[in-house]
């Protein structure tokens, strides 16, 4: 009984129609991130369930009061099929008054495209100001290896980044006595010590002291 159930399960996993019916999706990975001010971080632009991918093009918008773009680099997926040409056609924190954007394109030089899924690009940011921003994927185009190429239908899922107010140690969206209490417990500690709490070390100097208390005091009462 157990064996026959397992065989049915395996058969289901390898059924070609199941693969063909899965939705091709481009998404920001991880889809949701919480950062602190001044922190640097990266996200991947990832694709899954694609067949014969030979080129891609996307634009990503982000709030320029929350984030600044640092870099954009090609991911490994398309390269698994051969040589590629990767080009950043736009990269600005000042696309307009509120948003920055990055646009990149990539083409595979090979007779056939790649299948499955992987990373298309890696994008790095620095958290600039507190608040929330979507990492808005827009104008995503993916094409196959035909000549002329056909567009591959797909969906695109945006990401979300939240940058905490300095002093909001517990991440509940406000700076109040709860954060002060957490800071007090770590007060006087140094990096490596048992009481040290990196979340309370707002200026990243390896000590939780009056400098961090001052930052918390300055933001006391602020809410997102």
Binding residues (CB under 5 A) for Ca ion: these are 136-137, 158, 168, 170, 172, 179, 201, 203, 205, 207, 212
What backbone torsions phi and psi does residue 40 show, to the nearest 5 degrees? -100, 140
Tell me the C-alpha to C-alpha distance, in Å, between residue 88 and each of 14, 74, 145, 212: 37, 9, 21, 39
The conformation of residue 178, written as its DSSP 8-state character, comes to H
For residue 119, which of 55, 71, 48, 59 has the smallest C-alpha distance?
Answer: 48
CA dist 27 and 136 (Å) reads 10
Least distance CB 107 / Ca ion (angstroms): 23
Least distance CB 75 / Ca ion (angstroms): 19
Tokens of 220: 């006391």
Task: For Ca ion, give the closer residue by CB, 105 or 110.
Answer: 105
Least distance CB 81 / Ca ion (angstroms): 26
Task: For Ca ion, give the closer residue by CB, 56 or 113.
Answer: 56
Task: For Ca ion, give the closer residue by CB, 27 or 77.
Answer: 27
Least distance CB 39 / Ca ion (angstroms): 14
Task: For Ca ion, give the closer residue by CB, 38 or 205.
Answer: 205
């Amino acid at each position: 009984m157990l064996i026959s159930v397992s065989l049915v399960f395996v058969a289901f996993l390898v059924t070609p129609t199941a693969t063909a019916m899965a939705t091709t999706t481009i998404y920001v990975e991880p889809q949701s991130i919480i950062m602190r001010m001044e922190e640097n971080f990266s996200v991947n632009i990832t694709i899954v369930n694609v067949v014969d991918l030979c080129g891609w093009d996307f634009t990503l918008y982000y709030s320029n009061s929350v984030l600044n773009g640092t870099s954009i680099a090609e991911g490994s997926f398309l390269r698994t099929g051969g040589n590629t040409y990767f080009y950043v056609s736009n990269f600005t924190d000042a696309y307009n008054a509120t948003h920055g954007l990055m646009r990149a394109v990539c083409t595979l030089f090979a007779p056939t495209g790649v299948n499955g899924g992987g990373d298309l690009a890696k994008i790095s940011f620095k958290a600039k100001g507190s608040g929330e921003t979507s990492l808005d994927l827009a104008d995503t185009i993916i094409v196959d290896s035909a000549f002329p190429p056909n567009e591959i239908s797909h969906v695109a899922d945006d990401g979300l980044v939240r940058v905490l107010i300095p002093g909001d140690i517990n991440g509940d969206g406000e700076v109040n006595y709860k954060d002060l209490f957490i800071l007090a417990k770590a007060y006087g500690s140094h990096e490596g010590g048992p009481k040290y709490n990196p979340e309370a070390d707002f200026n990243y100097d390896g000590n939780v002291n009056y400098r961090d208390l001052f930052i918390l005091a300055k933001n006391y009462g602020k809410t997102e």
